[in-house]
Amino acid sequence: MQHPTSADILRVREFLLDLQARICAALEQQEQRGGGSAQFMIDDWQRAEGGGGRSRVLQDGEVIEKGGVMFSHIDIRQLPASATQRHPNIAGAKAQALGVSLVIHPKNPNIPTSHANVRLFVAEPEGQEPIWWFGGGFDLTPFYPDNQDIKHWHQTAFDLCQPFGEHVYAEHKKWCDDYFYLKHRDEQRGIGGLFFDDLNQWDFDTCFDYIKAVGNGYLDAILPIFEKHREQPYTEAQREFQLYRRGRYVEYNLVYDRGTLFGLQTGGRIESILVSLPNLAAWSYRPEWDEHSIEKQLTDYYLKPHDWLAEL
């Protein structure tokens, strides 16, 4: 297996920083088109153990209530359990991890919450060759689902996967459905997308090309959804439902998300680790929805795995 050189890791780092900047610029443009002036603040930080990152956060906008687009490149002296569960042979090894991770919580309930992540992990177990893999994906969490949006989201995912193999979309879509699942609620976090980890079955450059396609694909997938719903009116009841459903997002990220657990177990920067949580969320005791309402359809139909491209 081809192992990444320092120059390879630098190429990945440069792409990730550029991706972060482009995503923030595109989302700030959505904010401006919606009549807002909020911008992503830049917060550069260093980590005592080695490495650091650039956090970019926008809060209290007219279009985006809270958005975090985070870059990090950290050194790890001793790998924690969350990183070695599937790779017990690298327990305790030193490593480095770099990636961009984002969560965007729009203010309008008609615009879904979205998440994307692309990352590279390189471990150096003592006496062994370096072990590396890429991971990432993107997924969508609507509150008031729009069938055209869902089809567009998955069509974008399907199209970007095609150059890498006929079965990549189906495999990474299923992985996404399986991963973003709230077992204690028996529901998906949203309508899915792509998710992958341990990606090293191709040569390094092909794997790198794939995460570039995924990172760039996020913008292709999300921007038309913002454009379509940015000015759409909504009611206070819809806003309350959005906050209620955001509670599920919080539950997932704090109970199941491996990235959150990895950050906590490696002594990461807590503001960056928890930036995915919305400023406002709500929990109601046993709320009930009309049998024919879109709120009821969300959990009864949309938050179940489907072949969206075939069904819609």
198 domain-assigned = yes
Whether 180 and 253 have beta carbons less than 8 Å apart is answered as: no
- Under 8 Å CB-to-CB from 86, ≥6 apart: which residues? 198
**Domain membership of residue 88 as a residue range:** 6-301
Read off the pLDDT band of 100 (50, 70, 90).
very high
Read off the pLDDT band of 290 (50, 70, 90).
very high
229 domain-assigned = yes
310 domain-assigned = no
CATH label of the domain that carries residue 261 = 3.40.1500.10
Question: What is residue 195's three-state secondary structure?
Answer: strand
Number of domains in the chain: 1
Whether 272 and 72 have beta carbons less than 8 Å apart is answered as: yes
Whether 276 and 115 have beta carbons less than 8 Å apart is answered as: yes
Residues paired with 134 in a beta bridge: 120, 199
Alpha-carbon gap, residue 105 to 110, rounded angstroms: 11
306 domain-assigned = no
Q: Give the pTM.
A: 0.95
- The model's pLDDT over 146-171, given as tens digits with 9 standing for 90+, comes to 999 999 999 999 999 999 999 999 99
- The model's pLDDT over 237-258, given as tens digits with 9 standing for 90+, comes to 999 999 999 999 999 999 999 8
Alpha-carbon gap, residue 28 to 39, rounded angstroms: 6
205 domain-assigned = yes
311 domain-assigned = no
Question: What is the average pLDDT value for the chain, to the nearest integer?
Answer: 94
267 domain-assigned = yes
The residues annotated with a catalytic role in the active site are: 115
1 domain-assigned = no
